[in-house]
A and B are shown apart, each in its own frame.
Chain A
Amino acid sequence: MSLLEVSRVRKTFGGVVANDDVSIAVPAGAIVGLIGPNGSGKTTLFNSIVGYHAIDKGSIRFEGRELARLRVPQIARLGLIRTFQQTRVYGEMSALSNMVVSIPVARAGFASMFAGFARETVERAESLLEFVGLAEKRHLLAGDLSFGQQKLLEFAMALMAEPKMLLLDEPTAGINPTLINGLIERLQRANAEMGVTLLVIEHNMRVMMGLAQRIYCLAHGQLLAEGTPAEIMNDQRVIEAYLGGH
């Protein structure tokens, strides 16, 4: 059984069909990619998965559990964390504070609200900041970091929450091309060393080829193709969708 199973999901906004009959499966431990031209419904699918809006039809199961009726924070507490396309961090807090406030809260009781910060928590936060290359920036306000640095911080915050699965919405968009390789390597390490399953939206095909084991391609809200990176690269329908064949 897959960790995440999206089956036959349909989502409309008014008369616009953003997702129709979309099914994807993400096995535990895998890195799966989601590609598609602008407006093909990738982010809508992400939002459906993490509970931002209700779906019209279909089902979304995480570890066999139906997510359709759960709200955003409840889904996050199951261990399914997303990052945003337009990066979101806590701007008026230091990078380190952004990290320590992101500790897992699934089992946190009422008293934990007033807990202090364990040394291990701070150490883990610092080592994750080091992992993404932001150790020196840890006392800067997150809002003062560059867009790319905020993106890295957001990734580190997500890891801090010890997710089972991460949904990354265009993790390399806006990042300096020379840093992209480093980011890919970090995503792979998060997957291999921390056991985090990844579902990644990405426009950059080069990134996708090096990262994903399996790729789903959306176009016009529907699943156009699925396969290994090599298969997708050579799929005529995918090429046409990207080059504007329609």
Chain B
Amino acid sequence: MSPRARTLAIYAGILAVAIAAPWIAPAIVVQMAFLWLMVLFALTWDVCGGQMGYNSFGNVVFFGFGMYVCAVLQRDSGLAYFHAMFLGMGLGALASVAIAAILGPAMLGLRGPYFAIGTLGLGVAAADLAAAIEYVGAGSGMAPPVFPGGAGGSARFYYYVLMVLAMAAFLVLRWLYSRRFGLALNAIRDDEDKAEAMGLRTTRYKVVAWCIAAFFLGLAGGPTGNLAGFIDPRELAFAGPTFGVWMVLMAMLGGRGTIWGPVIGAAIFHVTQELFWTYLLGWQRVAMGLVIVLIVLFFPRGIMGWLRERWPQRFARGVAR
């Protein structure tokens, strides 16, 4: 089989399983929907964190902002349920991109640990802001409108929405990484001063990269809020200590700077986490913390990085990479 045919076969297989999953395992549809969300988290984090070398701990801001924009629109627009939801998703994404475009030039002027700390601050500030604004329910959160088709229907519907978003993110990023865009991000990661000395418009690339991450995170916010059924500013929308950190860990575990790494990392991380919740209840956070330490210690370059070192022929970069 040619490599192209093999790739297509793999994609078709994943797509088939993904579509059938809610019917095969109806009891865990919500968890599987969150799996797609985790894949999207890791993929979008890796745009800046892996490909470009800018470790953001604040990407959750775009997610939460998209969620709130969608929820407010659903509450106040008076549109029918699905119209309001999809319009809210789109507006949420646009609002998140706008935030990334406005904050980007200043934030992405920070390098290394300063960028990480700065974005961490953004996340904390956003959570506290949302928890203080009465218009969006302040600390007591918001409840999106009830799904018209019953609880099971809601889970299945949002499972498919998040699945499509994660797959779209994967395909768009895969395409971008195969273009000049991907190489420019890698150049910035490897030596930003050199890239500037070569005349590269580094700020433009950095801001656009962050905006792309913000776009998909903003899109994902709305459906996640609806899936959860209740929007808590700190526990769901701007959940820095959980989602914000997990994004980083999942990408690291799978292998940052690769397209499959974040996907694999997210899958392993999410399944592990669900198992901990099931079998180690009460100790799940301790176990998760231990896993995090082990990841950093033994898989600093992630699974894909390890595979590449082990079998460079098979997992090497593409022609121009």
Contacts and interface: CB of A to CB of B under 8 A. Distances in A.
A231 to B, nearest CB: 33
A116 interface: yes
A31 interface: no
Interface stretch (B34-42, B152-160, B178-186, B243-251): B178-186
B180 A114 contact: yes
Given A92-B190, A117-B320, A73 B180 contact: no
Contact of A100 (B189, B194, B200, B320): B320
Given A96-B320, A101-B183, A88 B196 contact: no
Interface string B195-225: 1111111101100100000000000000000
B128 interface: no
| Pairs of residues from A and B, 7 with the lowest C-beta to C-beta distance, nearest first | A76-B199, A90-B190, A88-B194, A101-B183, A77-B199, A73-B196, A72-B196
A91 B180 contact: no
Contacts of B196: 72-73, 76
Contacts of B204: 110, 113
A122 interface: yes
A30 interface: no
A50 B197 contact: yes
Interface size on B, as a range, is 20 to 34
B183 A116 contact: no
9 contacts: A73-B197, A89-B194, A90-B194, A94-B320, A97-B186, A101-B200, A113-B179, A158-B198, A161-B198
Given A97-B321, A114-B181, A115-B179, A76 B190 contact: no
Contacts of B202: 73
Interface in A28-83: 50, 72-74, 76-77, 81-82
Interface string B72-103: 00000000000000000000000000000000
Given A88-B193, A93-B186, A101-B187, A73 B199 contact: yes
A94 B321 CA distance: 6
A236 interface: no
* B189, B194, B198: residue with the most chain A Cβ atoms closer than 10 Å: B198
A105 interface: yes
Interface in A103-160: 104-106, 108, 110, 112-117, 122, 143, 157-158
B321 A113 contact: no
* A91, A101, A122, A158: residue with the most chain B Cβ atoms closer than 10 Å: A101
Contacts of B200: 73, 101, 105
Contacts of A84: 194, 197
Contact of B180 (A50, A117, A143): A117
* B184, B205, B319: residue with the most chain A Cβ atoms closer than 10 Å: B319
A178 to B, nearest CB: 28
A12 interface: no
B197 A101 contact: no
Contacts of B193: 88
A114 B198 contact: no
A166 to B, nearest CB: 12
B199 A114 contact: no
A164 to B, nearest CB: 12
Nearest to B321: A97
B314 interface: no
* B178, B257, B317, B320: residue with the most chain A Cβ atoms closer than 10 Å: B320
B191 interface: yes
Contacts of B189: 92
B176 interface: yes
Contacts of B195: 90
A102 interface: yes
A81 B317 contact: no
A95 B124 CA distance: 41
Contacts of A110: 204
A94 B198 contact: no
Interface in A226-244: none
A157 B195 CA distance: 11
A54 to B, nearest CB: 16
A117 B177 CA distance: 12
A90 B199 contact: no
Given A84-B194, A90-B187, A93-B321, A73 B201 contact: yes
A72 B196 CA distance: 6
A98 B252 CA distance: 24
B101 to A, nearest CB: 13
A40 B96 CA distance: 51
Contact of B178 (A105, A116, A161): A116
Contact of A81 (B180, B186, B199): B199
A106 B190 CA distance: 22
Interface string B145-188: 00000000000000000000000000000001011110110110
Given A74-B199, A93-B321, A157-B198, 16 more contacts: A50-B197, A73-B197, A76-B199, A81-B197, A84-B197, A89-B194, A90-B186, A91-B190, A93-B186, A96-B320, A101-B183, A105-B201, A114-B176, A115-B180, A117-B180, A161-B198
Nearest to A108: B201
Contact of B179 (A76, A81, A94, A116): A116
Contacts of B186: 90, 92-93, 97, 101
